[in-house]
Structure 1
Amino acid sequence: MKVAVEGCCHGELDNIYAHIADLESKNEYKVDLLLICGDFQAVRNWRDLQCMAVPDKYKQLQTFYKYYTGEKKAPILTIVIGGNHEASNYMWELYHGGWLAPNIYFLGHAGCVQVNGIRIAGASGIFKGYNFSRGMWLTGYFETMPYDKEAIRSIYHIREFNVRKLSLLSSPQIFLSHDWPVTIDQHGDYRTLIRQKSHFRQEINSGTLGSPPLMGLLRTLKPEWWFSAHLHVRFEATVVHGDPEGNADTQPTSAAPPKVANPDEIAIDDDEFDGDTASAPTVTSSDAQTASSSTKAADNPDEIKLDDEEEDVAPQPEAQPPPSITRFLALDKCLPRRKFLEVIDISPDSPTLSSPPNAPPTLSFDPEWLAILRAFDPWFSLTREQRPFPDESEAREMVNREMAWVEQHLLRAKPQDQNDHSPMFPVSDIQQFVMTAPGPGSEGADKFKQPPLYPNPQTDAFCKMLEIPNRITGTV
């Protein structure tokens, strides 16, 4: 499959689809799937803009509403995650995932789906330590509408609840995040990165650029590809897993110097709630919710290595299979002359899971993720306090039990074994797009007021499928 990957969208859907069409014409290929790594801005009308944490000068409708109202239709199956500049009220409606518009699917605050046998997982939002955990206490989703000054920002802060669930997945092929995993810069050309973005220097030198929980997930899940956005620059890295010396990547323990402003970021003048990431506490657990304890320096590309030096050392052990790697790619925001989109050829890990050649892309539920959601639903907290999670061994036993339920009640045919994640359960069997809010032009005197929370039939149908409460609207 030809997969187009986009960095920050910022509502520029018309320009993104036009750019892909231009690439298709020039290169004589067809893009099958588009992945967007956050700041998507699914703004349906002016009232949705009041739920977006940006200064007023950035509150523009942009182009998503055309796809929402049916004026246009996305020409490519598009999967998106959320960032830190979103109409968070709409994404909360679809907390578990759903169609934002025809052919545009939101992966949810955390999620995993399949497209023609390729497993795609992702996490929405950004990391802020004080809303990930508060000392000994974990944080739930306490925000309610209308959002106050704190909630309009905290609603997009990733919670440990979602990281725990994602850590239980068997390896997805692709992972999407808005934040970068912490210290990912050490696995690529960080010197060039500093030359391009000098304001990153202090965080790179202190090992605090990025999200600690995401590096924990990268090390745990070992996906083939990891795509990110947020920092408005293109950056490549390669993480090698199974280091024979047991080295791993984390931030140093030294405190970070004062943070320098990012000239490309959307500055929020009164954003005292989004404190410096560097000061956030690091959470550790056997589930690898965070990065481990030391930062690995980049290899020296100029070092001269002599093969015949092996004669003077002890015999080498038997050759081991090559370690797995994760290829990381971050992309810029959609602007002229910026590196905001890349097209990559990706095939399913296993040929037995792939769809027939030239088959149109089919979005399917991932059975393992459905089992994880059922297992962890009792821990879904809608208050500031989060009850403690089960340990990893107990959690995996819970997921195994729920996997049996998913196979019995939802799948059309039982998989051959536990690792068979065949795309056999199309999302469209359960979820169909429905307009829940009006398009622009109907706001009247309420144009600059936050809207009510609209119940979304897709979330209701999803919860009924899994036989779990719809905690978003408080219905069973």
Structure 2
Amino acid sequence: MKIAVEGCAHGALEEIYGTLQYLEQQEGIQVELLLCCGDFQAVRNADDLECMAVPKKFRFMESFHKYYSGEKKAPYLTIFIGGNHEASNYLAELPYGGWVAPNIYYLGYAGVVNVGGIRIGGVSGIYKSHDYRKGHYEAPPYNENNKRSAYHIRSLEVFRMKQLKRPIDIMMSHDWPRGVYHCGNTKELLAKKSFFRNEIETNTLGSPPAEELLRALKPAYWFSGHLHCKFVAAIEHEKEGQETPKVTKFLALDKCLPRRDFLQVIDVPRNEFEPLELQYDAEWLAVLQGTNHLFSTSRVPMNMPSQFTDDRWDYSVSSEEMEGVKKAFNGDLKVPENFVQTAPTFNPARLQNTRQPNLTINPQTTLLCTKLGVTDPCKKLLKIAEGNPDEISLDEDDNEEDTGNPEEISTSDVDDADADDDDDDSAAEEAILPVNPNLTEPMPSQEEASISDEEAELIKEMHRIRSSPATSQDDSSDILTSPFHTGSETESAAPDLSDSDSLHQGKTDSDSGKRSSENETDGSGSKKKFKRRNQAMYEDTEESC
């Protein structure tokens, strides 16, 4: 089964789908699934832009609204996780996942689904220590603090994922698991992103909770975005009695911009007897049922159960509990195609006087929670708001303002508007690619979509690794140290996740989103280049977003 993986989408669906269609034509392949690793930006209308945590000058409608309105339909089943630049109010309607548009599915805070027998999991958001153990208290309309904390990953989702015992084929996270840079070509990474050096040397780049899940679940593949560069690694896990240790193939990809490595297609073995459709995962749904009492809408930090407390801490599920879930769904775990519009479609005439909408109840969430017999997070937040508005106050005292200053961000919260040095390709270089006559935008040549001999070598050794993930027991202890950190591994060889028969690369040579920040002129007719937000942006405090 050919699966396309995309880094940071940034709302550029037309470009992404167009690139995939072009690769299919050039390579004679058929892509059956697209996975997006965050910053998807499911923006339906101008009001949704008000809920996206970026300075106003970097807010763009892009093309998702066309798929939401029905003007277009996604040509590929698309599954995505949330990042740190999202229409958070829309994703808040679907805390346990759901359709944001026909054929486009959001995994929720965290989730696991099945497609053709391939088990796909993911966690949304990025890690911030000060919000990690809080509940999901945010609801639109947001203040500037809540607009950011809404996409910060919580310990509950990590705890739930750690209860999974059955093998995971693919995992997705927006920020990288901490330590993976020591398992690939660190020297090459630093050549592209020299300002990562200090955090790599101190092993503070990336997400400790994602690292914890990587160690616990040991998936065959792990895909990420966020840091706006391509990076591949092979993480060898500790042996657990078997002769051959489990290995996770890690791939991070760039954002969708001209001449960037933002897209790859890989071959993943599938069960030919399983239907090629999106299905719920019985084990995951049973975990949601068993841990429903742990869901919180409180700002007060709380620790998840562990072996060091008197409470039950192992919520892994039995076959009987999974059968109970299947019974609740009448034996049919196919995700119903029950997308419904819950907000007005985009109206170009209404770009002024926009305001954040209130939290909306999405019938997809209501149906799923009713079948599982679990709390509907949206209804709980609305009930709290009606009974005591202070519980979801719009005036937190964190005093974290959106200054609009692009310097005031950190690697844990990289801004969408980040203009990399290598974005400034010369006009001559960009002109070398041929124009695909069937598409409106220049697309990659077949040579650019090809792969290297080194890349081909690795994929020949790749196979789907099925293993029983260990249940990590205490999220406070597992994230303190990294098994990947070995000091100064800056020249370790990075295996390339590619093969001539199973992987294709896509780059766009033009950004039809026409972002004004990238096309603004300085008045003299020459293109204005925006200064790279360099080392200073990574020396910001942990509390900054």
Question: Aligned letter for 1:473?
Answer: K
- C-alpha distance 27-470 of structure 1, shift in aligned 2 (>3 A): same
Tell me, yes or no, if the aligned pair for 1:84 and 1:126 is still in contact at 8 Å: yes
Matching residue of 2:374: 468
- C-alpha distance 56-397 of structure 1, shift in aligned 2 (>3 A): closer
Question: Aligned letter for 1:26?
Answer: Q
Greater shift, 434-443 or 112-121, is seen at 434-443
Tell me, yes or no, if the aligned pair for 1:372 and 1:402 is still in contact at 8 Å: no
- The separation in 2 between residues aligned to 1:140 and 1:320, in whole angstroms, is 39
Matching residue of 1:322: 244
- C-alpha distance 29-394 of structure 1, shift in aligned 2 (>3 A): same
Matching residue of 1:49: 49
- The separation in 1 between residues aligned to 2:168 and 2:63, in whole angstroms, is 31
Pairing 1:109–2:109 present: yes
Tell me, yes or no, if the aligned pair for 1:112 and 1:119 is still in contact at 8 Å: yes
Deviation at 1:141, TM superposition (A): 1.3
Pairing 1:153–2:155 present: no
Pairing 1:221–2:217 present: yes
Please give the residue correspondences for 1:11-410 in structure 2 after superposition, counting only pairs within 5 Å: 11-132=11-132, 138-170=133-165, 171-243=167-239, 321-348=243-270, 351=271, 354-355=272-273, 361-391=276-306, 394-397=312-315, 399-400=317-318, 402-410=321-329
Deviation at 1:61, TM superposition (A): 0.4
SS in structure 2 at match of 1:378: helix
SS in structure 1 at match of 2:283: helix
- The separation in 2 between residues aligned to 1:427 and 1:183, in whole angstroms, is 35
Kindly provide the CA deviation profile for residues 387-446 of structure 1, in whole angstroms up to 9, marking residues without a partner as x. Answer: 44333693435633743531443352xxxxxxxxxxx51001xx5100000011188587
Tell me, yes or no, if the aligned pair for 1:377 and 1:468 is still in contact at 8 Å: yes
Deviation at 1:156, TM superposition (A): 0.3
Tell me, yes or no, if the aligned pair for 1:78 and 1:103 is still in contact at 8 Å: yes
The partner residue of 1:437 within 318, 343, 357 is 343
- C-alpha distance 144-328 of structure 1, shift in aligned 2 (>3 A): same
- C-alpha distance 222-32 of structure 1, shift in aligned 2 (>3 A): same
Question: Aligned letter for 2:257?
Answer: L
Question: Aligned letter for 1:409?
Answer: A
Tell me, yes or no, if the aligned pair for 2:230 and 2:252 is still in contact at 8 Å: yes
Kindly provide the CA deviation profile for residues 75-94 of structure 1, in whole angstroms up to 9, marking residues without a partner as x. Answer: 00000000000000000101
SS in structure 1 at match of 2:284: helix
SS in structure 2 at match of 1:120: strand
Deviation at 1:20, TM superposition (A): 0.1
SS in structure 2 at match of 1:468: coil
Tell me, yes or no, if the aligned pair for 2:287 and 2:315 is still in contact at 8 Å: no
SS in structure 2 at match of 1:454: coil
Deviation at 1:41, TM superposition (A): 0.1
When the two chains are superposed, the root-mean-square deviation of aligned CA atoms in Å is: 2.0
Matching residue of 1:267: none
Tell me, yes or no, if the aligned pair for 2:120 and 2:170 is still in contact at 8 Å: yes
**Structure 1, unaligned stretches of length 5 or more?**
133-137, 245-318, 413-423
Pairing 1:448–2:443 present: no
- C-alpha distance 31-447 of structure 1, shift in aligned 2 (>3 A): farther
- C-alpha distance 26-442 of structure 1, shift in aligned 2 (>3 A): closer
SS in structure 2 at match of 1:405: helix
Question: Aligned letter for 1:196?
Answer: K
SS in structure 2 at match of 1:176: strand
Deviation at 1:125, TM superposition (A): 0.3
SS in structure 2 at match of 1:182: coil
Greater shift, 362-371 or 400-409, is seen at 400-409
- The separation in 2 between residues aligned to 1:35 and 1:230, in whole angstroms, is 14
Question: Aligned letter for 1:355?
Answer: F
Task: Give me the identity figure in percent.
Answer: 47
Question: Aligned letter for 1:406?
Answer: V
Tell me, yes or no, if the aligned pair for 2:155 and 2:304 is still in contact at 8 Å: no
- The separation in 2 between residues aligned to 1:433 and 1:443, in whole angstroms, is 26
- The separation in 2 between residues aligned to 1:219 and 1:128, in whole angstroms, is 20
SS in structure 2 at match of 1:427: coil
Tell me, yes or no, if the aligned pair for 2:176 and 2:225 is still in contact at 8 Å: yes
SS in structure 2 at match of 1:336: coil
Tell me, yes or no, if the aligned pair for 1:194 and 1:200 is still in contact at 8 Å: yes
SS in structure 2 at match of 1:326: strand
Tell me, yes or no, if the aligned pair for 1:32 and 1:77 is still in contact at 8 Å: yes
SS in structure 1 at match of 2:317: helix
Matching residue of 1:287: none
Kindly provide the CA deviation profile for residues 193-238 of structure 1, in whole angstroms up to 9, marking residues without a partner as x. Answer: 0001111111111111100111110010000000000000000000
Q: Which runs of 4+ in 1 moved over 6 A?
A: none
Matching residue of 2:471: none
Deviation at 1:42, TM superposition (A): 0.2
Deviation at 1:321, TM superposition (A): 1.9
Question: Aligned letter for 2:356?
Answer: Q
Question: Aligned letter for 1:323?
Answer: P
- The separation in 2 between residues aligned to 1:398 and 1:344, in whole angstroms, is 31
Question: Aligned letter for 2:153?
Answer: I
SS in structure 1 at match of 2:100: strand
Question: Aligned letter for 2:304?
Answer: F
